[in-house]
Amino acid sequence: MAPRKRGLVQVKLRITEDLKRRLDKVASKRVDGSLSAEIAERLERSFNAPALAKGVATTVVEELKAIWPVSTGSEKQAGKR
């Protein structure tokens, strides 16, 4: 038996045949061709996704504010006076 890489553990996983085929296809394009590395990378990214989404949303809001100023409603009230 080959020595275990430090910090790595084996996990058994059940997935559909279709998902396995799709992962195999993507993994085959990796430099190392590793299905295990592809799955691990995708899982790592899934933990970073909420922070990334929040950052993207914040950037979009800031960009929109820069090109489309938000009305406070005071402009409408000033016109009624």
Q: For residue 81, give Cα distances in angstroms to 4, 28, 74, 75.
A: 78, 69, 11, 10
Q: List, in order, residues 6 or more apart from 27 with CB less than 8 Å away.
A: 33, 34, 35, 37, 38
pLDDT band with cut points at 50, 70 and 90 for residue 21: very high
pLDDT in tens, 42-55: 999 888 877 878 88
Query: Looking at residue 73, what is its pLDDT?
Result: 65
pLDDT band with cut points at 50, 70 and 90 for residue 3: low
Query: Looking at residue 77, what is its pLDDT?
Result: 59
pLDDT in tens, 48-80: 877 878 888 888 888 888 888 766 666 555 556
Q: How is the chain split into domains, by residue range?
A: 17-69
Share of the chain above pLDDT 70, in %: 79
